[in-house]
């Protein structure tokens, strides 16, 4: 079945450590996105990529980094510079920037 896979579902890290969240899609979509969701809040855009080897900052990119070396993969690194990293992270993809988004089931990151 085609879809978006985010792993792991739950992730725990100590403060000061960088951590990379995985996002893989086999939908052959060009565009990929990372969102962050805090309890009781809507989603906020961190980074997005419309094509391989290109990506743009979203609304809350500080403390995060991404790469897009392959069409199917868009990993997100949460760096130690991110002041409040504990959150629910959602990856999405779309055929292109005009099409609806397909979301993965998220990674819940807890940093203590």
Partner 1 sequence: DAKTTQPTSMDCAEGRAANLPCNHSTISGNEYVYWYRQIHSQGPQYIIHGLKNNETNEMASLIITEDRKSSTLILPHATLRDTAVYYCIVSSYNQGGKLIFGQGTELSVKP
Q: Does 83 bind partner 1 (CB under 8 A)?
A: no
Question: Nearer to partner 1 by C-beta: 43 or 63?
Answer: 43
C-beta of 14 vs 98, nearer to partner 1: 98
Between residue 23 and residue 82, which ones bind partner 1 under the rule CB under 8 A?
31, 33, 35, 40-45, 48, 50, 56, 58-59
| Residue 97 binding partner 1, by CB under 8 A | yes
3-state helix, strand, coil in the chain (%, to 5): 0, 50, 50
Upper half-sphere CA count for residue 39 (Cβ side, 13 Å): 4
Q: Which residue intervals of the chain are DSSP H helices?
A: none
């Amino acid at each position: 079945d085609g879809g978006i896979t985010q792993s792991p579902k739950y992730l725990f890290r100590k403060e000061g450590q960088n951590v990379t969240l995985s996002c893989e899609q086999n939908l052959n979509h060009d565009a990929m996105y990372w969102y962050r969701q805090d309890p009781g809040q809507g989603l906020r855009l961190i980074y997005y990529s419309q094509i391989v080897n290109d990506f743009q900052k979203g609304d809350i990119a500080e403390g995060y980094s991404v790469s897009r070396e392959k069409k199917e993969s868009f990993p997100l690194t949460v760096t130690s510079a991110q002041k409040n990293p504990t959150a629910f992270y959602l990856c999405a993809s779309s055929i292109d920037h005009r099409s609806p988004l397909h979301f993965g089931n998220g990674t819940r990151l807890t940093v203590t």
